Structure 1
Amino acid sequence: MLGPKLRFGSFIAPFHPLSENPTLALQRDLDLVTFMDQLGYDEAWIGEHHSAGYELIASPELFIATAAERTRTIRLGTGVSSLPYHHPLMLADRINQLDHITRGRVMLGCGPGSLPSDAFMMGIPVAAQRDRMDEALADIVKLLRGETVTNKTDWYELSEARLQMTPWSRPSVEIAVASQVSPTGATAAGRHGLSMLSIGATSAGGFNALSSNWAIAEEKAKEHGNVMDRSGWRLVGPMHIAETREQARADCAHGLEQWVYYFREVAALPLVADGEGDMIDQLIASGMAVIGTPDDAAAQIERLKAQSGGFGCFMFMDHNWADWDRKKRSYELMARFVFPRFQNLNDNREVSLNWARDNRETFIGHARMAVGMRVAQHIQEKGTENIRPEILEAMGIKKQDAAE
């Protein structure tokens, strides 16, 4: 019996260096999602950021609405909506509208906000972000399930609040909580019975915390009468794939250094360790990134499966290490040569090929017999005038004998 397919997607923050035209960079992000849809990717998650120059998308909802019109089947999530930045009713209502517009293809990813500079501009204490996420999440879950909510906190108020349109998706739009190293996201996911989005799954801290965070989520879910589903667990890690390891390394000369600079000097996510020596060697040796072939990508996914105990979707952490054409090639190679290994796409083909190979002599014998019968019938009716000598020879017939 076939089990569930491992899904594949991309977590598109995005990360665009300052040398890029931002308008064209956003256009390529939309083109990427369209390309992913054509290749059969399952999901794309779109970030929300308001400062620091690299992560340009301020409204994942606007991006998703645009991308939804250009795609057919790929599901589109906010990756993630920073809950302390939004009144819960307003965010829930926008997601609900997208749920209807996309006919159920939208997902809501939730987090406290990853850039302290965003919170600073809005006067939000960084120390309060996780508490505010927890407060807002509890009410957003209820709203997206069609419930009426009354609640007053020190930063928002809901008075008999409800969505005026019944949600398209039942019982709710899928909601996922961002999780890194701390147990915050896992605790929230378990408390509300939500999916989990492990953004830094291949970083040292994130990788080591995978199994413990899942255990925390399951324990918290049990306390609240929920059940965690591994198919809703997404793991995110950076990869660049090429035909050879040498080609992959050459491709990354385009933009890897700018990406590393952003994480070391600006972003608050501990994805890149400090160290000396070649950056590519460091990233590969640490297990943080794959810069190699489809075989290397498959090995990384197997490593994540073993560490986590099983998950539902692997996602590229999207980046611009390579130029546009080579980046698309990386996505294509993943779809062509890695998807099949984890989705059983070629199992039946292999069985069919082996069966045909193992029974080749039997099948060819029957085919020869059928051809021979037709040739013999023709000779009986018309003689050998139009029969090529090699055909007669293959049948063990001499032309003179046939004529007699």
Structure 2
Amino acid sequence: MEVGMFQTPFLPPERTPSEVFDWAVAQAVTADQAGFSEYWIGEHATLMWEAIPSPELVIAAAARQTERIKLGPLAHLLPYYHPATLAAQAAWLSHILKGRYQMGIAPGAYPGDARMRGFTDLSKNHRMQAESVKIMEMIWKGEPFDYQGEFWNAGIPEGDADHPVRDQRPWGDHMPMAMTGLSPNSPSIRYAGAHGYSPCSVFSSNRALIDHFDIFATAAADAGRPGDRTKHRVVRDVFIADTDAEARKLALEGGMGRAWKEYLLPTYHAFGIAEAMVEGTGLSVSDVTLEFLADNFWIVGSPETVQEKFEAWMDGLGGGFGTLLLYSYDYIDNPTPWNESMRRMAQDIAPKLPTAAFAAVEA
């Protein structure tokens, strides 16, 4: 299993743009040095707790300070860009990073982000996403074309010897793509399977995650593509410290606990997602508190405890998957314990997990 990070970022509203930017770049460097395989940056324009409107700025800064880790947005909200502009920008970054760039895409689900761009009706966003991808893929072929679409027009001119058109093909003639999903029967996970993209599941329960595995595998098979679990990314909350008590304290009283208390848990309750968290516990949704999360939902503890929790989780899933993505939180004022937790996950925990648990699981 590989380990990566999803820098949404869950930073409190009082953090300044420069603090958010500096933390995001510093975390990319830490992840690279710890041996993480990839680092994704969220994109939102109006959300107070997820305050990075332009992942490319973080990616460009991190490109000069990292060596191995792959970088990408998760995800570009495609209806809010002209796809030709985005395609040219992404292809350019893929060459700057020499193949370390990958793109996450999404249709956009938050009304505030939509309204800022003049969108009051999100019902067309999925169709816009599909057309956007179609145009980007034509751009990335690097061949002349003219396209008149439902939402956008685009094209690459012929050019001539005196006025050649710059090559728009990405590094290696291929743009790796990914999509996130959270809800059961996720249309995004299904879309990823049908189009050969990597699925990224935000964990809510084993049952929901297995549902994502199955949806992706079925959609991939219907399209004639492999759909095994090694292609899956799964997002979870992890904090590792010397002892269980120390890890629990750092999680509950630090940035992880605050983000869940003030932002994530109210959101999960409002959208009915918290119900999945009590799966198999015999508890009700009203019992989902921070303490419940620390003991039952987050993976928190000493290295030995965390390893045991991961092994038990794999057993519950009936096998493994490709990449674990850690959410990032606000540990700006005291980053050492958080950074050490990242290192332990990548260097101490993942290599010790049973190899068989992470073998390709064919659906």
Q: Which moves more between the two structures, 324-333 or 50-59?
A: 324-333
The code of the aligned residue for 2:336 comes to D
The offset of 1:150, in angstroms, is 4.4
The offset of 1:266, in angstroms, is 5.9
1:156/1:94 CA distance change after superposition, 3 Å: same
1:283/1:310 CA distance change after superposition, 3 Å: same
Distance 2:212 2:65 in 1: 36
Distance 1:343 1:102 in 2: 33
SS at match of 2:297: coil
Distance 1:148 1:230 in 2: 37
1:312/1:219 CA distance change after superposition, 3 Å: same
Aligned to 2:306: 297
The code of the aligned residue for 1:328 comes to N
Can you give the 5+ residue segments of structure 2 that lack an aligned partner in the other structure? 159-164, 276-283, 356-363
Aligned to 1:232: 231
Whether the 8 Å CA contact 1:259–1:321 is kept in 2: the answer is: no
1:244/1:282 CA distance change after superposition, 3 Å: same
Whether the 8 Å CA contact 1:197–1:235 is kept in 2: the answer is: yes
Aligned to 1:365: none
Distance 2:145 2:350 in 1: 42
Distance 2:305 2:272 in 1: 23
Cα deviation, 1:318-372, whole Å, max 9, x if unaligned, reads 122784222112212213321321497xxxxxxxxxxxxxxxxxxxxxxxxxxxx
Aligned to 2:132: 136
Whether the 8 Å CA contact 1:178–1:197 is kept in 2: the answer is: yes
Of 36, 42, 46, 1:47 maps to: 42
Can you give the 5+ residue segments of structure 1 that lack an aligned partner in the other structure? 1-5, 345-404
SS at match of 2:51: coil
Distance 2:302 2:109 in 1: 31
Distance 1:22 1:272 in 2: 30
Cα deviation, 1:294-320, whole Å, max 9, x if unaligned, reads 334334444157527432111101122
Query: Under a length normalisation based on structure 2, what TM-score does the superposition of the two structures give?
Result: 0.82
Aligned to 1:334: 345
The offset of 1:257, in angstroms, is 2.7
Q: Which moves more between the two structures, 316-325 or 55-64?
A: 316-325
The offset of 1:159, in angstroms, is 3.4
Aligned to 2:195: 192
Give runs of aligned pairs for residues 111-126 of structure 1, distance below 5 A.
Answer: 111-124=106-119, 125-126=121-122
Distance 2:148 2:349 in 1: 49
Query: Under a length normalisation based on structure 1, what TM-score does the superposition of the two structures give?
Result: 0.74
Distance 1:298 1:288 in 2: 15
User: Equivalent pairs: percent with the same residue?
Assistant: 27
Distance 1:176 1:85 in 2: 18
Of 143, 150, 158, 2:154 maps to: 158
The offset of 1:130, in angstroms, is 2.5
Point out which structure has higher relative CO (alpha carbons under 8 A, 6+ apart).
2
- Look at both structures and tell me which one has the larger radius of gyration over its CA atoms: 1
How many residue pairs match? The answer is 334
The code of the aligned residue for 1:97 comes to W
1:221/1:164 CA distance change after superposition, 3 Å: farther
Aligned to 1:355: none
